[in-house]
A and B are shown apart, each in its own frame.
Chain A
Amino acid sequence: MTTTGRNSKTAQRKAAMAVLAHSGAAEIAGLLADIAVPAHENLREPENGLVMLRGRIGGDGAPFNLGEATVSRAAVRLATGEVGFGYTLGRDAQKARMIALCDAMVQSAEFSGAVEARVIAPLRTALVAERTRKAEETAATRVDFYTMVRGEG
């Protein structure tokens, strides 16, 4: 694979992981149940641990340690060899395993179409709708100084 090809594949995997990490385990499981999942095994048993979250001094300066977060992770290998990794905030090991499985499928020529279209895409649609709803609720609290009317008339 060329460097560009690898980069675009990594970008695709990251985009899928981002959608999955933001989605609920039950939603992912529900969509996965409707597609043919290839034979696979756990390469690493799901485990829970901590990640130290870092901020930056002043928002854009040198990093500092803010505090930790719980994280669950897993690794899955398809019978055809693709290895997928799953990481998510929280302690839901099954969610981490499903993310790893989806990541492996995204890398598989045979399964990437199905997982993108029938798992990632609907989750992304739901996520965008949720973000839009929040953004619209927030926008209603924006102060519009120009609509203030002073005096009479």
Chain B
Amino acid sequence: MYVAVKGGERAIENAHRLLAHERRGDRDVPEVTLAQISEQLSLGVDRVMTEGSLYDRELAALAIKQARGDMIEAIFLVRAFRATLPRFGASEPVNTGEMQVRRRVSSTFKDIPGGQILGPTFDYTHRLLDPQLAEGFVPELPATADAPQTPAPRVTDILGRDGLIESSPQAEPDAPVGDLTREPLSFPADRDLRLQNLARGDEGFLLALGYSTQRGYGRNHPFAGEIRFGDVEVEFFAEDAGFAVPLGSIELTECQMVNQFKGSATEAPCFTRGYGLAFGQSERKTMSMALVDRALRARELDEEARSPAQDEEFVMSHSDNVQATGFVEHLKLPHYVDFQSELGLLRKLRQEFAEANEAPELREAAE
């Protein structure tokens, strides 16, 4: 039960004023701009866009600034903002096979058509703090090389040609696409809804669940078949124009996990798959998402489902950090009346306890 409490207006107003002052920090230090956040804290912006479920770099940067760098608070702000705008419709599904690739690696094949492209990565850095970055560091301009004209097909497409890997599930062209922002979750949930849930789910939660599958809680023998990051074109079928109009491009990261094979008396064994997709450069997120996507297919693949990562109701009900923080943090709000009734009950129980323990002594004394 929530109880309306009056009387704190001035305290609240002054608390927010103090918050604004603390957010600004030392006023002798220059204020950060949205462009600085967007350009120099870009992976934080990517995470806020992904989990805020809204692709808009400037808004995500504003949210990070307003939230003083608290990512979940920023995600909360972005989610709240999206409720203020009308929805024009849904885009045509993006084609990640035609991505302008900025990074693309496979841990399964050394020589993939299109090559192993490292791009801007923390991989192979020594994870030593770099004192140069403390002030005024001007990095070298990037090296360049002739760009090959060869396409970079998805690794899963290459494996798929030989039937070594299961093909992606297809849908009728006009089949409805599940949308958990429109209908409440119900179980069992189809894979489209599960992927939408995982895409906006908390990175830390999915990382822990993905890790748990590797440690044996729903093991699925994963290989990173391919991770790619780059720009993908978006088109939207505009009723007024009468054709799919280009909207521009977005940055996406895609992870194709290749997992343990399955087969049956009627089907030759082949590798199974897990899939991850997220806004911006979000590798840890998409890898975790792909591990959990594969784990959640236990039922479909006739696997024993005894681990948390394989339990779709558990995973999908707890992945959303805005819902989770709302419920955990509401404990801070006044619960005075609830607590009074608990207190009343506790006093009564203690009194009964005291009377019951007092009674034998009284009896003894009387004898």
Residues of A within 8 A of B (CB): 10, 13-14, 17-18, 21-22, 44, 47-71, 73, 75, 85, 87-91, 131-145
B56 at interface by CB-CB < 8 Å: yes
Of all chain A residues, the one with the shortest Cβ separation from B160 is: A60
The answer to whether residues A67 and B246 also contact, given A52-B89, A85-B240 and a CB cut-off of 8 A, is no
- B330 shortest CB reach to chain A, Å: 25
B233 at the interface (CB under 8 A from A): yes
Q: In the assembled complex, which residues on chain A have CB atoms less than 8 Å from the CB atom of B273?
A: 58
Asked whether, in the complex, the Cβ of A66 is within 8 Å of the Cβ of B199, the reply is yes
Q: Are A136 and B146 neighbours in the complex by a CB distance under 8 Å? A: yes
- B196–A65 touching, CB < 8 Å: yes
Let me know if B154 and A60 touch, CB within 8 A. Answer: yes
Which B residues lie within 8 Å of A49 (CB)? 85-88
- Using C-beta atoms within 8 Å of the partner chain, give the interface range for chain B: 35 or more
Question: A56 to B171, alpha carbons, bound, how many Å?
Answer: 10
**Docked-complex contact B85 and A85, CB < 8 angstroms:** no
Q: How far is the CB of B320 from chain A (nearest CB, A)?
A: 13
Is A69 a contact partner of B234 (Cβ separation < 8 A)? Answer: yes
Bitwise interface map of B from 156 to 182 toward A, beta carbon under 8 Å scored 1, else 0:
110000000001111100010111110
CB-based contact A55/B85 at 8 Å: no
B325 at the interface (CB under 8 A from A): no
Find out whether the CB atom of B116 lies under 8 angstroms from the CB atom of A68. no
Q: How far is the CB of A146 from chain B (nearest CB, A)?
A: 9
User: Inside 8 A of B86's CB, which chain A residues have their CB?
Assistant: 47, 49-50
* Residue B191 lies at the interface, judged by CB distance under 8 Å to chain A: yes
Residue in B117, B195, B250, B256 whose beta carbon sits within 8 Å of that of A141 in the complex? B117
Residue B243 at the chain A interface, CB threshold 8 Å: yes
Measured CA separation A60–B245 after assembly (Å):
21
Residues in B neighbouring A51, C-beta threshold 8 A: 87-91, 234, 236, 247
The closest CB in chain B to the CB of A87 belongs to B245
Fill in one digit per residue for B221-246: 1 if any A CB lies within 8 Å of its CB, else 0.
00000000000011010101101111
CA distance A133 to B115 in the complex (A): 19
Q: Is the CB–CB distance between A142 and B245 below 8 Å?
A: no
Kindly state the separation between the CA atoms of A119 and B188 in the bound complex, as whole angstroms: 53
Closest Cβ neighbor of A58 among chain B residues: B168
Residue of A nearest to B166 (CB): A58
B69 in contact (CB, < 8 A): no
Q: How far is the CB of A73 from chain B (nearest CB, A)?
A: 7
Q: Given A59-B275, A135-B100, are A64 and B196 also a contact pair (CB < 8 Å)? A: yes
The answer to whether B144 and A136 touch across the interface, beta carbons within 8 angstroms, is yes
Known contacts A59-B168, A142-B117; A88/B275 CB under 8 A? no
Determine the distance from Cα of A131 to Cα of B231 in the docked complex, in whole angstroms.
Answer: 10
**Interface pairs A-B: 7 shortest CB-CB:** A61-B168, A58-B168, A62-B171, A135-B147, A69-B55, A64-B192, A18-B246
- From the candidates A59, A85, A91, A137, name the one contacting B245 in the complex (CB within 8 A): A85
In the bound complex, do residue A17 and residue B118 qualify as a contact, i.e. CB atoms below 8 Å apart? no
Q: Does B213 contact A (CB under 8 A)?
A: no
Residue of B nearest to A64 (CB): B192
In the bound complex, CA of A10 to CA of B244 (Å): 10
A122 CB → nearest B CB, Å? 18
